[in-house]
Amino acid sequence: MPRLITPSTLLTFSHSLRRPYATEAVFKTSPYRLHRLDAGPAPEVTLKKDDALVLYERMATIRRMENEINKLYKSRVVVGFCHLYSGQEAVAVGFFANLRPHDTAITTYRSHAWAYLFHGLTTHSVIAEVSGVQSGSSRGKGGSMHIFGKNFYGGQAIVGAHVPIGVGVALAHKYRSNGAVSVTIMGDGATNSGQVGEAYNMAKLWDLPCLFLVENNHYSMGTSVPRSTPNPDFYKKGDMMPGVWMDGMDVVSVKEGARFCMEYVTAGKGPILAEANTYRYFGHSLSDPGTTYRTREEVHKVRETQDPLTIFKTKIMEAALVTEAELKVVDDKIKAHVKEGLQKAKKDKKPPAEELTYDIYANEVIKEVRGVSPFKPKVHKSTGQAYNLK
């Protein structure tokens, strides 16, 4: 007797045929806004499957890592200020996708995502550092706001003060003719600082290879953009320097926008100013509930309608570039990776008290430093090679 083909059988069969066969797909980018530019990033881009999986994995890893750090803070493993990057993942991941091994970056205290990317894509060094243990990137002495690494100049705590340092790094690149770009990252609040304007001026005056990036999450600490500046177009604030505004919640648009900016700088045209329109889910720091200057409804709406992970996942699945099963494999890999980083950090020890005066200088030329007691200096020595010392 022949087997009956029921509607449910046909549905199951049709689902089995809907396996992705595409190795690449074309995606439209969100509209860009330009300043002093005749042309900008492309309106659509082609994304390969392998690249899509990499972008998803990096964003999802940052999200999970930050969620775990939030738990560590609540359990008082992480002490002091702690600023999470959740909601802004598309910005760091999209820009990092265009950086070369010799390019450099410097950023604010909201640095965990950038530190993870520059630390060989491992979460352990970041988790260990914020936990204050020796296997952290700064042996646990820098904490959440002072994470460093190869070609990564921090994690800097003073608002806007690191921007001139980024310009100085760009000057070093030009002086050495090494072809590198200094990506100098700041928040919307920092753009109102005097030293940022001076840094813009010098970078353009000397046409330095500097890519300024404003991560505009709309609330500099707790002050909304309209309350802090009469000109909310941060990408135009470089005056004679060209600028690009991009949708910072769409990693595809960020990646293409970053490509354009990198090509502009590496062509020897001087600095450029990028603004990524983004949003942070948590408060300014974890001691800030983040609901006194914005509503819970606003945060919920952004999470529901503009989440960078959800947007990208939907895009690549609708384009038949990946399957739910493939993404689950990635999610399981991320879960195991972050868990391993947590376990390693938990087993590690905090640096001994005498290390407080170690590594103040990049070498051991100075053997002693002043302590709190007169005529009783403390020992100074290096525990290892300083990052980026050449």
* pLDDT above 90 for 363: no
**Confidence (pLDDT) at 390:** 66
pLDDT band at 365 (very low <50, low <70, confident <90, very high): confident
147-152: average pLDDT: 94
Q: Is the pLDDT of residue 361 over 70?
A: yes
CATH code assigned to 30-351:
3.40.50.970
- What is the reported pLDDT for 146? 94
Angstrom CA distances, 27 to 24, 45, 209, 246, 251, stand at: 10, 5, 29, 15, 11
Domain boundaries, the chain: 30-351, 353-390
CA 146/CA 134 separation, integer angstroms: 14
Residue 17 has pLDDT above 60, yes or no: no
Position 73 pLDDT exceeds 60: yes
Tens-place pLDDT, residues 217-263: 999 888 999 999 999 999 999 999 999 999 999 999 999 999 999 99
What mean pLDDT comes out for the span 19-23? 69
Determine the residue type at 374.
P
State residue 21's pLDDT score: 66
| pLDDT-derived band at 70, boundaries 50, 70, 90 | very high
Confidence of residue 14 (pLDDT cuts 50, 70, 90): very low
**Which pTM was predicted?**
0.92
User: 35-49, 189-203, 349-363: lowest mean pLDDT where?
Assistant: 349-363
In this structure, of 20-29, 203-212, 279-288, the range with the lowest mean pLDDT score is 20-29
**138 vs 257, higher pLDDT:** 257
Spell out the SS3 assignment of the chain.
CCCCCCHHHHHHHHHHHCCCCCCEEEEECCCCEEECCCCCCCCEEEEEHHHHHHHHHHHHHHHHHHHHHHHHHHCCCCCCCCCCCCCCHHHHHHHHCCCCCCCEEEECCCCHHHHHHHCCCCCHHHHHHHHCCCCCCCCCCCCCCCCCECCEEEECCCCCCCHHHHHHHHHHHHHHCCCCCEEEEEECHHHHCHHHHHHHHHHHHCCCCEEEEEEECCEECCEEHHHHCCCCCHHHCCCCCCEEEEECCCHHHHHHHHHHHHHHHHHHHCCEEEEEECCCCCCCCCCCCCCCCCCHHHHHHHHHHCCHHHHHHHHHHHCCCCCHHHHHHHHHHHHHHHHHHHHHHHHCCCCCHHHHHCCCCCCCCCCEECCCCCCCCEECCCCCCCCCCC
Report the Cα 127 to chain-centroid distance in Å.
Answer: 15
Residue-wise pLDDT for 275-317, tens only, equals: 999 999 999 999 998 889 999 999 999 999 999 999 999 999 9
* pLDDT of res. 267: 98
User: How much of the chain exceeds pLDDT 90, in percent?
Assistant: 86
- Least Cα distance to 387 among 65, 203, 146, 183 occurs for 146
Confidence band of 386 (pLDDT split at 50, 70, 90): confident
Residue 24's pLDDT band, with cuts at 50, 70 and 90, is: very high
Average pLDDT across the chain, whole number: 93
Q: Determine the average pLDDT of the residues in 120-147.
A: 94
